[in-house]
Structure 1
Amino acid sequence: MSDATPARLDEYPLPLGPLAEPPDRFGELRDKCPVVRVKLPSGDTAWMVTGYDEVASAMANPALSRAALREPGAPRVISGPDFSDNPFNLLNQEGADHARLRRLIAPAFNHRKARVWRPRVEQIAHEVVDRLEAGEHPADLHRDFASLLPIWVICEMVGAPVEDRPRLQEWTDRLVSITAYSSEERLRARDESAAYVAGLIARRREEPGDDLLSALVAARDDNDRLTERELVWLGINLLVAGHDTTVGALVRGLYMLLRHPDQWRLLADDPAILDHAVEELLRYAPPSEIGFMRVATRPVTLGGVEIAEGEGIIPVMHAVGRDARHVRDPEKLDLTRTDVKHLAFGHGPHYCPGAGVARMELQVAFGTLARRLPGLRLAEPPDDTKWLGGLLTLRPERLLASWK
């Protein structure tokens, strides 16, 4: 029994702090014990990692494996099937196959592609704000802006009909569930989304387009660089992961900005700080408080804690932005700070391949709202906003705002 194992284990995931702040316990653990054993919803235990240095080390360590989660007897976050069981999910792959699939999708999400896509994303953002202004007032920024823009963008990028957005969002909610939905609902979403993407693939074979799915179909059919199941699951990965975390980052960032109206005014008055502002929001208000578990394939030492082969490790990459070892006055939201440090897009082999496009979307979204609706403000007290639990990303039931 390590000193990092308290008599009473914290239950993972930890509850959010007031006003959608990170769990208060994160701060205590970072200072005293950044690697600590926790109890999972399944009843298993794992090591939760919350310090910046320790999380970065864990995410880069090849001995901590996502693929090993499928081994018999491996610890589980939840009882019953979940997305970690799927060997075709990009997040669950490692080694040569993982590198091959990342190489196939990387050109679609690099910084050059983000520049190419930016004008179209700006058009979509303005259209969404047009609808916002013409709709109900106060408006629900979650439903009518933060949830709408990223899924519209990814539908166009991948080549899915924009009118299919509601179905895609429903499947996403279930696929990224930890405890919000049952195993049966998650499996049904998996099967339905797979059938949907298979249908898109069939249409792209008949009528190729200038979209990412058409390019992947060509890679599969012309060069045999993909199996059919890999092709289907890459499509699902892109449609789900390609927008869900952006929704979380956008809605949580908006909430925090409007909770700090001086910072919102700063952004509205000085668009030159936009890029810095996005990085500070990713540090201060990342899209989740959840980490993706790995399994130790050999004994490792992390943060001075000895972890045995076969034990689970959860590096919570979203817990590190307030690590006082790296950020001055980390509890303060400051869009002008220059010491921003975060791991919102991960680290190591599983660093988010879509980080460039995601950053661009967030810059466009926050920038468009700040220019078009500089008087934006919360339409109800901040503590009246209810945040949904049991999902990989954070989102409110609604986020009411006014600007008139």
Structure 2
Amino acid sequence: MSEIPAHHSRVRDQYPLPLAALAEPPERYAELRDKCPVVRVGLPSGDHAWLVTGFDEVAAAMTDPRLSRAALREPGAPRVVTGPDFGDNPFNLLNQEGADHARLRRLIAPAFTPHRARQWHARIEQIADELVDALVAGPRPADLHGGFAALYPIQVICEMVGAPFEDWPRLQTWTERLVSITAGTPEQRLAAREEAAAYVAALVAERRADPGDDLLSALVTARDDQDRLSERELVWLGVNLLVAGHDTTVSALSRGLYALLRHREQWELLCARPELTDRAVEELLRYAPPSEIGFMRVATEDLVLAGTPVARGEGVIPVMHAVGRDRRHVADPDTLDITRAETPHLAFGQGVHYCPGAGVARVELRVALATLARRLPALRLAVDPGDVEWVGGLLTVRPRTLPVDW
């Protein structure tokens, strides 16, 4: 292969790049997208990888079959962190490829069709209203993150999967440890993985004894009557659904609401024109996505990505959430505008790992915005936007609290 140009190969940045002030994306992303959309970065583990930030380049990397999630488990593969993490788990849906990956996605697909999302719409609306009721009845200023955004997606996915909502504190703790990059220890990540799997295994046993009209019961049937997945696959599908089924929606909602309230004219416009809700959701996914992190893949052969040679065995991190402000695809990308007709983003991924729950997530986000705009049009931040503290070291972006009043 040709020699890597010096400006590509030298390591200037350490991944993950820090958020800018006011929960804005890392400032360096704009420079990288414009000048060097594929650049070498250092990882917390001490290894190196190629960071990809441009829209076209990220889309190409996410759909290139030569960039593999499964290869993360090969001996000597680069690692984001030292010690165990979710990339080690061969039963995690995100880490599977080929026939097994396609088989497992087919099993959960019926739960996430547009028709199924419409069936859930009324219940999702009810959950949102109940949480707003509790928020209104509680002390003020209220915590819009802890009292609404963090609970709402967990309750929805618990009911869909068939897990008791009262277990949400444990699910929240396990999730934060499982999506940790630098916020937790290897021992905490491993313990969370084992505890979450044991929890779902107990739920599986309950569904075998007493099936219900929920996704986990359907998966138990597929396991026991049709032999379409192994016991470990069944358990880890349950973990995947409970964790991935709420975590990014929590962050998208909290970060999106913060962005709307920080740009007060946009919140007032949404309240005055509820027909803009669908556009607002897509614009927020572009402008304030749930993460600024990408899922690393490993090159299974030598390749060239956007003119940059990538050697077999090297890591590539396409940051799907960094692409929404690519000025090659969107005009005035640093302006939040919920009337925008074109809102290019890759918030749900691209290719075979496109989020299977994207339809339900969109319904949740639309209902949340519509409910809050209808019930609390005077909603405002109760602190200076710069005083909101953001949790670091996780795959997703979220505030510790989001104080609001109305």
Contact 1:377 1:402 in 2 (8 A): yes
Alignment partners' CA distance in 2, 1:361 and 1:169? 18
**Aligned pairs, number:** 403
- The residue that corresponds to 2:198 in the other structure is 195
CA positional deviation for 1:3: 4.0
Contact 2:105 2:356 in 1 (8 A): yes
CA positional deviation for 1:4: 4.4
Unaligned runs of 5+ in 2: none
Residues 1:312 and 2:343 are matched in the alignment:
no
- 104-113 vs 80-89, greater mean Cα deviation: 104-113
- The residue that corresponds to 1:75 in the other structure is 78
CA positional deviation for 1:104: 0.4
Alignment partners' CA distance in 1, 2:313 and 2:279? 40
Contact 1:4 1:305 in 2 (8 A): no
Q: Secondary structure at the match of 2:51?
A: strand
Contact 2:67 2:316 in 1 (8 A): yes
Alignment partners' CA distance in 1, 2:224 and 2:293? 37
The root-mean-square deviation of aligned C-alpha atoms, in Å, is 0.7
Percent identity over paired residues:
71
Q: Secondary structure at the match of 1:38?
A: strand
CA positional deviation for 1:9: 2.1
- The residue that corresponds to 2:45 in the other structure is 42
- The residue that corresponds to 1:357 in the other structure is 360
What does residue range 241-256 of structure 1 map to in structure 2 within 5 Å? 241-256=244-259
C-alpha spacing 1:297/1:6, structure 2 compared with 1 (3 Å) = closer
Deviation string, structure 1 residues 326-372 (Cα, Å, up to 9, x no partner): 00000000000012100000000000000000000000011100100
Residues 1:218 and 2:191 are matched in the alignment:
no
Residues 1:382 and 2:385 are matched in the alignment:
yes
Residues 1:301 and 2:304 are matched in the alignment:
yes
Contact 1:328 1:339 in 2 (8 A): no
CA positional deviation for 1:8: 4.2
Matched letter for residue 72 of structure 2? L
- The residue that corresponds to 1:17 in the other structure is 20
Residues 1:321 and 2:324 are matched in the alignment:
yes
Matched letter for residue 249 of structure 1? A
- The residue that corresponds to 2:123 in the other structure is 120
CA positional deviation for 1:232: 0.2
What does residue range 86-165 of structure 1 map to in structure 2 within 5 Å? 86-165=89-168
CA positional deviation for 1:234: 0.1
Q: Secondary structure at the match of 1:291?
A: coil
Contact 2:11 2:42 in 1 (8 A): no
Alignment partners' CA distance in 1, 2:268 and 2:212? 42
Alignment partners' CA distance in 2, 1:305 and 1:376? 47
Alignment partners' CA distance in 1, 2:65 and 2:199? 34
- The residue that corresponds to 2:170 in the other structure is 167
Unaligned runs of 5+ in 1: none
CA positional deviation for 1:7: 3.9
Alignment partners' CA distance in 1, 2:113 and 2:327? 31
The TM-score normalised by the length of structure 1 is 0.99
Contact 1:4 1:37 in 2 (8 A): no
Q: Following superposition, which runs of at least 4 residues in structure 1 exceed 3 angstroms of deviation?
A: none
Contact 2:10 2:40 in 1 (8 A): no
Q: Secondary structure at the match of 1:5?
A: helix
Residues 1:27 and 2:30 are matched in the alignment:
yes
Matched letter for residue 122 of structure 1? E
